Amino acid sequence: MVETIQGWRCIGCGKVEAPAPCIGVCEDRRVELVLAQDYAELAWRVRELEAALALVARVTPTAGGLEASWRAFQERARRLLDAGTPGS
């Protein structure tokens, strides 16, 4: 599970704010943030790549079907890789 927080981002400069009630012990530290949409897209790609890798690990081609299975796996891998190419 990934923790998310609600905040605001300036459409001009990109400044991010996510104020919360202070209990008097706050200490600010620099953090790196990622947009939720970017994270969701990456998480989707990881799930899809794991599923493709699971095929390699768990599927045994039928006799004489190794080449066809390998070609199908290559095609799936190409589609997944192309899906991550900017502008695709």
pLDDT digits (tens, 9 = 90+) for 37-76: 888 888 888 898 899 889 889 988 888 999 998 899 899 8
For 6-45, how does the pLDDT look when each residue is reduced to its tens digit (9 = 90+)? 899 999 998 888 888 888 888 888 888 888 888 888 888 8
Alpha-carbon separation of residue 16 from 13, 20, 30, 41, 60 (angstroms):
9, 13, 12, 21, 50
pTM of the shown model: 0.60
